[in-house]
Amino acid sequence: MIPRYLTDVSWQDLPRHEYGTLVIGSGVAGLYTAIKSAKFGKVLMITKKALDESNTRYAQGGIAAVIADEDSPDFHLQDTLMAGAGLCDEDAVDVLVHEGPARVNELIRLGTEFDLEDGELALTREGAHSQRRILHAHGDSTGAEIVRALAHQALEQPNLEIWNDHFVIDLLTVGGECFGALVQRPDGSRIAVFAKATILCSGGAGQLYRYTTNPEIATADGIAMAYRAGAEVRDMEFVQFHPTALSYPGAPRFLISEAVRGEGAYLRNAHGERFMERYHPLLELAPRDVVARAILDEMARTKTTFVYLDITHEPREKVLHRFPMIYTTCLHYGLDLTSDWIPVAPAAHYMMGGVKTDLYGETTLKRLFACGEVSSTGVHGANRLASNSLSEALVFGKRIVKKLTELPALELAKLPGGFTDRLTMALRKDVPMTPVVEKKLKLQKVMLRQVGLVRTEEGLEKAIEELKRLTSLFESRLTKREEYEFANMLTVSLLIAVAAQIREESRGGHYRSDFPSPDDAGWRRHIVFQREGGTFVEPVRPRIAAAEPSGELPAAQAQ
Tell me the C-alpha distance between 75 and 455, whole Å: 33
Asked if 183 and 191 touch (Cβ cutoff 8 Å), the reply is: yes
> How many of the other CB atoms lie within 10 Å of CB of 460?
23
Q: Is 60 in a helix, a strand, or coil?
A: coil
Per-residue burial over 97-133, b if 16 or more Cβ lie within 10 Å, else e, is bbbbbbbbbbbbebebebbeeeeebbbbbbbbbebbb
Go through the chain and tell me how many residues it has: 559
Q: What is the rounded radius of gyration, in angstroms, for the C-alpha atoms of the chain?
A: 23
Tell me the C-alpha distance between 314 and 341, whole Å: 12
Which residues are paired to 362 by β-bridges? 369
List of residues 6+ apart from 89 with CB closer than 8 A: 377, 378, 379, 381, 540, 541
Alpha carbon of 382 to those of 240, 414, 445: distances in Å? 9, 42, 24
Q: End-to-end alpha-carbon separation of the chain, Å?
A: 54
Tell me the C-alpha distance between 65 and 125, whole Å: 11
Q: Which amino acid is at 209?
A: Y
Please identify every residue annotated as catalytic: 288
Phi, psi of 444, rounded to the nearest 5 degrees: -60, -40
Give the number of C-alpha atoms closer than 13 A to the C-alpha of residue 94, restricted to the C-beta side: 12
Q: Is 415 in a helix, a strand, or coil?
A: coil
Q: Which of 350, 332, 358 is nearest to 388 (CA)?
A: 350
Tell me the C-alpha distance between 99 and 65, whole Å: 9
Which residues are paired to 274 by β-bridges? 268
Which residues are paired to 345 by β-bridges? 245
Dihedral class, residue 65 (left if φ above 0, else alpha if ψ from -120 to 50, else beta): beta
Q: Which amino acid is at 50?
A: A
Alpha carbon of 222 to those of 170, 231, 280, 486: distances in Å? 9, 11, 36, 13
Phi, psi of 298, rounded to the nearest 5 degrees: -65, -35
Q: Is 316 in a helix, a strand, or coil?
A: helix
Residues 428, 434, 435, 436, Cα dihedral to 10°: -60
Tell me the C-alpha distance between 30 and 47, whole Å: 9
Tell me the C-alpha distance between 405 and 234, whole Å: 27
Asked if 532 and 525 touch (Cβ cutoff 8 Å), the reply is: no
